[in-house]
Amino acid sequence: MNASASGSSVPASPEGPKKRSGTGSRTGRLIFLLPVLLVLAWLAVGGIGGPYFGKISEVADNNQTSYLPASSASTQVAALQEKFTDSDAIPAVVVYVNNDGLTEADRTFVTGRASALSGVSGVAGQVSPPQFSTDGKAAEIFVPVQDNDAAATTVEDLGGVAGDGIPSGLDSYVTGPAGQLADITEAFGGIDTSLVLVAALAVLVILVVVYRSPLLPFLVLLTSILALSAAILVVFYLAKAGALTLNGQVQGILFILGIGAATDYSLLYVSRYRESLRDHEGRRDATKAALKGTIEPVLASAATVVAGLLCLLLSDLNSNKALGPVAAIGIGFSFLAAMTLLPALLMLTGRAAFWPRRPAFGSPHPDRDGNAGKGFWPRVARSIKAHPRRLWVVPAVVLLVACAGLLQLRASGVPQSDFVLGETSAKEGQQVLGEHFPSGSGSPALIVAPESELDTVARAVLSTPGVDALVVDATGTPEGTLPVTADGVQTSPIPGTSGTPKVVEGKVLLEATLKEAAESDAAEQTVSAMRGNVAGIGDVLIGGVTATTIDTNAAAAHDRDLIIPVVLVVILFLLMLLLRALLAPFLLILTVLLSFGATMGVSALVFNHVFRFPGADPAVPLFGFIFLVALGVDYNIFLMTRVREESIGHGTREGVVRGLMITGSVITSAGIVLAATFAALGVIPVLFLAQLAFIVAFGVLLDTLVVRSLLVPALSYDIGDRIWWPSRLARRSGPAAEARR
């Protein structure tokens, strides 16, 4: 592999700079025909895929049960519930509260609002009459909302109707599962516009600073945007066909990763092309040399990231499983665009793309021999040469200390109401429900049981501590439910009426109201105990909001424990093939793990004591690991492949010095770009994305500025030739080798 692609220069040719090879005018026109066709083809892809930036949300499903595998109890209950109700509606809870106590005018208003709410577009069934709290301060109304793309609009309209003409002192909120889904939908509403704009602007600013050119930054940014357009187009139709599950989280990561990766690969190519223009007079020859030196290292880098991402296909969670192929598609198109579109654009523009700092034919190369005393990276290289052990031991110790923060990492899950950052009507309404009604009101546990075991299951559920009430879905009663007591089913709950449990495929549906909030730890303990109590009675399934949280956290923990070791093995194997050694890949993996541990330790402290987050999703450490390990190894690939190339001709220690000087600026720029793009995820007010944004941005900077700049080169210099064990590079001996050291 030609590692010179990762740097900004290549060894000078013995013949010196090469003049343009003679070509006729017709041949010259044919030579430029291919880049013109490539540019037109990519512009066509952008023209087709561009509109899908705004359409891809149409195929995203942000319902939490869609994240789970089909085999989970929560998923099965959600599917069966639709058969009992003949609807896929989800409940909204309209809550009224007057902290001084409901007046007669308040009660009259609330009662009148119940009928008005039933007329809101998107309401999918009968609205319940108001239920008043025992303390006389609050009332709740249950409203079934059609579970479709317009659910958020329906919830917003419900809020407007609920508060229309409301008496002074009375407040209203719309909460429940539908209210929380509306919050999530609104939070992801800016993902198609604000996220991409912020990421693109951040990249553009960095590119302008790096290149100090008015044209080149826009060529690189155009490459990234068109690569993302192609990826979105493919992902849209795969999601529409049901080949993968897409949600707002995966969509946001696709946007960021597509822009960040394409820009990184473009930076590496631009650096190599700029150096080739110094060695070749003609643009065609410079393009050929740049591609020859860049494509293999960048391909190895992209393949490593894709391999790590595809390990997510082993996941139980559909949301994790979807991220693997979606992100891999983004990386694939980033590679294609950087290796086809950008070379075509630069071949057409030539040295003009770098104006006003055009690389002249035959001009000296920065960071080449003879210039080793100039610049920041030569100074860093000299420091490593003078004090190698100190410059890897001290960073390693500091990173180990930072790993201690892992003890404070709280990644056991958070309530769904905390999924969205900031105060919302749904959050405040849930708090009111908890203060004035059984906290689980509006989000009951759902139990699907055999009809023949109804009495037994009912007694088992009611005997569970933490269960406040139980009803059975029924036919023939005004409200469609039958209350259940420990003595069995009351078939005549209301004088003058009668009813029987509704039976679907030999099963009945029960709803258990919990004493504690459905998203609390106490509720999870209650549902877990309930599952234990009904185990062995028959084919009984328990779902609902609390059960979905339990199943999601369990699946996330399973994914973390399974996928992390698999990713390590896969990446270690690829590094061994790439570097043709065992020791160097093993040490690189250890440094990346150390960087990841330090990042998560610092993140835990920041999340708990600076941002004061309520906790973290169990998938956060897994996602952070996937990106930091894959991307951290990515930058080490660019460094160490260049070091290996230089070591062949100059010895390992000199190869480390030369490799660091040559790769320092371009890899650091790439790391800053990727950190900035991931930081842009913070504009979406979603806890998971905000945490992932900080973890990846901080981790990439730590890896780029400390691990790859100091720890890895200093450790490699200290070890010397043995770093390449057991390859032939590790067994060099004799005066020549000693001289090279």
Sign of CA dihedral 12, 14, 20, 23: negative
pLDDT band at 42 (very low <50, low <70, confident <90, very high): very high
* CA 412 – CA 261 distance, rounded (Å): 31
pLDDT band at 494 (very low <50, low <70, confident <90, very high): very low
Find the mean pLDDT for residues 696-725: 92
Structure-block tokens of residue 167 = 């008496």
Q: Which of 352-356, 517-521, 557-561 has the lowest mean pLDDT?
A: 517-521
Q: Shortest CA distance to 516 belongs to which of 439, 443, 445, 597?
A: 439
Q: Per residue in 433-464, pLDDT tens?
A: 888 887 676 678 999 999 888 888 988 998 89
Q: What's residue 734's pLDDT?
A: 36
Residue 18 has pLDDT above 70, yes or no: no
Q: Shortest CA distance to 700 belongs to which of 234, 264, 151, 62?
A: 264
Q: Could you give the residue ranges of the DSSP H alpha helices within 359-469?
A: 376-386, 388-403, 425-436, 454-462
DSSP class of residue 167 equals P
Contact between 542 and 77 under an 8 Å Cβ cutoff? The reply is: yes
Q: Which helix (H) or strand (E) holds 96?
A: strand 90-97
Domains in the chain with CATH codes: 3-62+191-413+551-740 (1.20.1640.10), 89-187 (3.30.70.1440), 444-543 (3.30.310)
pLDDT band at 736 (very low <50, low <70, confident <90, very high): very low
Contact between 462 and 484 under an 8 Å Cβ cutoff? The reply is: yes
Q: What's residue 519's pLDDT?
A: 77
Q: Under 8 Å CB-to-CB from 44, ≥6 apart: which residues?
A: none
Q: Under 8 Å CB-to-CB from 552, ≥6 apart: which residues?
A: 64, 67, 68, 74, 317, 413, 618
pLDDT band at 10 (very low <50, low <70, confident <90, very high): very low
Q: What's the pTM value of the predicted model, to 2 decimals? A: 0.82
* Alpha carbon separation from 738 to 155, 395, 581, 650, 721 (Å, rounded): 75, 28, 21, 11, 10
Q: What's residue 487's pLDDT?
A: 60
Contact between 640 and 6 under an 8 Å Cβ cutoff? The reply is: no
Find the mean pLDDT for residues 697-719: 93
* CA 552 – CA 305 distance, rounded (Å): 26
pLDDT band at 13 (very low <50, low <70, confident <90, very high): very low
Mean pLDDT of the chain: 84
Q: What's residue 391's pLDDT?
A: 94
What is the 3-class SS of 531-599, one letter each residue?
HHHHCCCCCCEEECHHHHHHHHHHHHHHHHHHHHHHHHHHHHHHHHHHHCCCHHHHHHHHHHHHHHHHH
Structure-block tokens of residue 319 = 């949301």
Residue 101, judged by CB atoms within 10 A of its CB (0-12, 13-18, 19+), counts as exposed
Contact between 256 and 678 under an 8 Å Cβ cutoff? The reply is: yes
More confident residue, 347 or 152: 347
Residue 11 has pLDDT above 60, yes or no: no
Find the mean pLDDT for residues 529-539: 90
Find the mean pLDDT for residues 63-80: 76
Return the top range by mean pLDDT from 180-194, 490-504, 526-540.
526-540
Q: Per residue in 247-306, pLDDT tens?
A: 878 888 898 888 999 999 999 899 889 888 988 888 888 899 889 888 888 888 899 889
- Give the CA-trace dihedral at 226, 229, 233, 235, to 10 degrees: 110
Find the mean pLDDT for residues 484-499: 52
* CA 6 – CA 4 distance, rounded (Å): 5
Q: Under 8 Å CB-to-CB from 578, ≥6 apart: which residues?
A: 1, 300, 585, 637, 641
Q: What's residue 101's pLDDT?
A: 93
pLDDT band at 151 (very low <50, low <70, confident <90, very high): confident
Cis check: omega of the bond before 217, within 30 degrees of 0: no
* CA 61 – CA 67 distance, rounded (Å): 9
More confident residue, 437 or 161: 161
Place of tokens 């989800």: 90
Residue 122 has pLDDT above 80, yes or no: yes
Return the top range by mean pLDDT from 47-51, 105-109, 183-187, 255-259.
105-109
Residues in the chain: 741
Place of tokens 């929380």: 180
Q: What's residue 475's pLDDT?
A: 63
Return the top range by mean pLDDT from 503-507, 520-524, 718-722.
718-722
Q: Shortest CA distance to 366 belongs to which of 16, 10, 741?
A: 10
Q: What's residue 318's pLDDT?
A: 79
DSSP notation for 451-515: GGGHHHHHHHHHTSTTEEEEEEEEESSTTSEEEEETTEE-S--STT---EE--BTTEEEEEEEES
Return the bridge partners of 472, or none: 482, 510
Contact between 298 and 337 under an 8 Å Cβ cutoff? The reply is: no
Q: What's residue 476's pLDDT?
A: 54
Q: Shortest CA distance to 695 belongs to which of 678, 671, 718?
A: 678
Q: What's residue 607's pLDDT?
A: 94
Return phi, psi of residue 304, to 5°. Answer: -65, -45
pLDDT band at 375 (very low <50, low <70, confident <90, very high): confident
pLDDT band at 221 (very low <50, low <70, confident <90, very high): very high
Residue 150 has pLDDT above 90, yes or no: no
Give SS3 for 266: helix
Q: Which of 158-167, 366-375, 611-620 has the lowest mean pLDDT?
A: 366-375
Q: What's residue 29's pLDDT?
A: 63
Cis check: omega of the bond before 726, within 30 degrees of 0: yes
pLDDT band at 30 (very low <50, low <70, confident <90, very high): low
Q: What percent of the chain has pLDDT over 70?
A: 86
Q: Which of 30-34, 91-95, 372-376 has the lowest mean pLDDT?
A: 372-376
Place of tokens 């030999």: 506
Q: What percent of the chain has pLDDT over 90?
A: 33
Residue 710 has pLDDT above 80, yes or no: yes
More confident residue, 381 or 147: 381
pLDDT band at 183 (very low <50, low <70, confident <90, very high): confident
Find the mean pLDDT for residues 100-122: 91
Residue 377 has pLDDT above 90, yes or no: no
